[in-house]
Structure 1
Amino acid sequence: MSSNSPPPTFQDPPEYTFPAHRLNTILRDSSKQPIVLVACGSFSPVTYLHLRMFEMARDYVRHNTDFEIVGGYLSPVSDQYKKPGLLAAAHRVHMCNLAAEQTSNWLMVDPWEAFQSYQRTAVVLDHFDYEINTRLGGVTTADGEQRHVRVMLLAGSDLIATMSEPGVWSEPDLDHILGRYGVLIIERAGADMDQAIDSLARWRGNIHLIHQLIQNDVSSTKVRLFLRRGLSVRYLLPSPVVDYIEEHGLYVDDGAPASAEKEKEKGKGKAKEATSSSLKVPS
């Protein structure tokens, strides 16, 4: 987007306010480039791995780049995304807020994407860029110099795999996401990144691969399956999220048994979870 381009227009959900209460508006190190991490995904439900991704990214940025993270956001996808197992946005946003507010001191949840029609990832990143740099004016150094904040996508390695598949993503969107913003990719078990990265060679300088030093393969899909079988998911998710799921009886009201005993008694088979190639962070 050139400096002569008109400002973008965005349709905000009713009573929407951009969350900035944890955004660090003063750059600690003036030699660094300020960045904000944005994770787009279903978060149905949010897991410890979703939160852990931000911590791994923060370690990577601190030790391997000239960036300084000034904020981190979870952006739950709209209900219009129509992904199997996708709980209503109100529940997903609330669980993300519980996880961010009660287990972190720097993460935030932006409901802008969740409470409207489906928005492409490129548009979501534009929204963050507009809110942080145009409306809030970016950040300042200790000396009062104004700095533009670079927005970067945070995702699992399976996202890069979909980006390297012909026809899954549009070329303009790939160029917008990887060229204008950039992405930090968290390695996931069993993913072959070399071939995927080779297919995206033109943007290689904006793709940062982060290896998991402690492997974690917890996924929302597995958590939903556990819940439908009546199995415990405690210590796989933040405790406030587990409490919320139990209080509202989530993920067990779709005809699947609410407990292992009921499953055995009724002789029902294992719940099957449909999956699809997502243009968001797969969950």
Structure 2
Amino acid sequence: MASSPDSTSPKPTFTYPTNYTFPHHRLQRVMKDSSKTPIVLVACGSFSPVTYLHLRMFEMAKDYVRQNTDFEIVGGYLSPVSEEYKKAGLLNAAHRVAMCTLASEETSTWLTVDPWEAFQSYQRTAVVLDHFDFEINTILGGVKTAEGEARNVKVMLLAGSDLIGTMSEPGVWSYRDLDHILGRYGCLIVERAGTDMDQATDSLARWRHNIHIIPQLIQNDVSSTKVRLFLRRGLSVRYLLPNPVVDYIEDRGLYQDEAPTEKGKERRDSISTPKKDVPSAS
């Protein structure tokens, strides 16, 4: 059973976009197996544009969780980053949220897009996870077992192994954020070619029990950066992205005039933002 937040911790406070409502229409409110711990997967990123690999990560995580853990997934969320995260190739929030919504609603039965992060000032990953924890466990009251017992949901970050690579580099992430993300919440990391997972996890040994490595059995190196390059060159991106997303891009002529991505701009989180303490709420 997921532990409850420390009662001595200050009550979290958050800012909210105009007319925002937390989307929970696909959140499974009753567990199938009361012997397991309910979890929600959260993938934070630019999603500019969302690709099949982004979606595939959730399916790989589902298989891993079912076969290797005592967790039960009750929801999966894509959380597009704010426009204020200054990054080459970052389309405006409205387009990215729309594409993620098309991808999740039309190709999946359990994934959802949460626009909370996208439509406001930049929010660190630690704060984003706090937001999900607050909305699901405090506002909605968590989930219930088939017997009617209330359970808190464990929020977990889902990401590619490049994230763990940056977390293991000294000075990139603040220690307090790392402890909050990996200690309080935990993460599921999908292996990618070129990342030394053993070295990365050795550097994060304190939280190793809360880091789950998911093998990528079929290699897939599709990335948003490569997709944008194809679009600039007038090449087809069908079957790299969900068809509704391809249609959305083509209908609006997106990514045609983007400047080439600057080297080193692909990291999402503390690399380009000053290290701060986690407030009361890549």
Alignment of 1:1-283 (within 5 A): 1-254=5-258, 271=260, 273-276=262-265, 278-280=267-269
Counterpart CA distance in 1 for 2:264 and 2:47 is: 14
Counterpart CA distance in 2 for 1:176 and 1:79 is: 24
- The answer to whether the Cα contact below 8 Å between 1:84 and 1:275 also exists between their aligned partners in 2 is no
1:277 deviates by: 5.2
Instruction: Tell me the SS of whatever aligns to 2:84.
Output: helix
- Partner amino acid for 2:16? D
Unaligned runs of at least 5 residues, structure 1 = 257-270
- Partner amino acid for 2:239? Y
CA RMSD, Structure 1 to Structure 2 (Å): 1.6
1:212 deviates by: 0.5
Residue 275 of structure 2 corresponds to which residue in structure 1?
Answer: none
- Partner amino acid for 1:206? N
1:276 deviates by: 2.3
- Partner amino acid for 1:278? R
- Partner amino acid for 2:141? G
- Partner amino acid for 2:154? R
- The answer to whether the Cα contact below 8 Å between 1:153 and 1:183 also exists between their aligned partners in 2 is yes
Cα displacement string for residues 188-231 of structure 1 (whole angstroms, at most 9, x for unaligned residues): 11221110010000000000000001000000000000000000
Residue 272 of structure 2 corresponds to which residue in structure 1?
Answer: none
- The answer to whether the Cα contact below 8 Å between 1:162 and 1:277 also exists between their aligned partners in 2 is no
Instruction: Tell me the SS of whatever aligns to 1:247.
Output: helix
Residue 278 of structure 2 corresponds to which residue in structure 1?
Answer: none
Counterpart CA distance in 1 for 2:266 and 2:40 is: 26
Off by >3 Å, runs of 4+ in structure 1 = 271-275
Counterpart CA distance in 2 for 1:132 and 1:154 is: 17
Counterpart CA distance in 2 for 1:222 and 1:173 is: 30
- The answer to whether the Cα contact below 8 Å between 2:88 and 2:261 also exists between their aligned partners in 1 is no
- Partner amino acid for 1:47? T
Unaligned runs of at least 5 residues, structure 2 = 270-281
Counterpart CA distance in 2 for 1:104 and 1:134 is: 27
Instruction: Tell me the SS of whatever aligns to 1:78.
Output: coil
1:7 deviates by: 2.0
Counterpart CA distance in 2 for 1:153 and 1:274 is: 26
TM-score by length of structure 2 reads: 0.92
Indicate the structure (1 or 2) with the bigger Cα radius of gyration.
1
TM-score by length of structure 1 reads: 0.92
Cα displacement string for residues 80-129 of structure 1 (whole angstroms, at most 9, x for unaligned residues): 00111000000000000000000000000000000000000000000000
- The answer to whether the Cα contact below 8 Å between 2:39 and 2:74 also exists between their aligned partners in 1 is yes
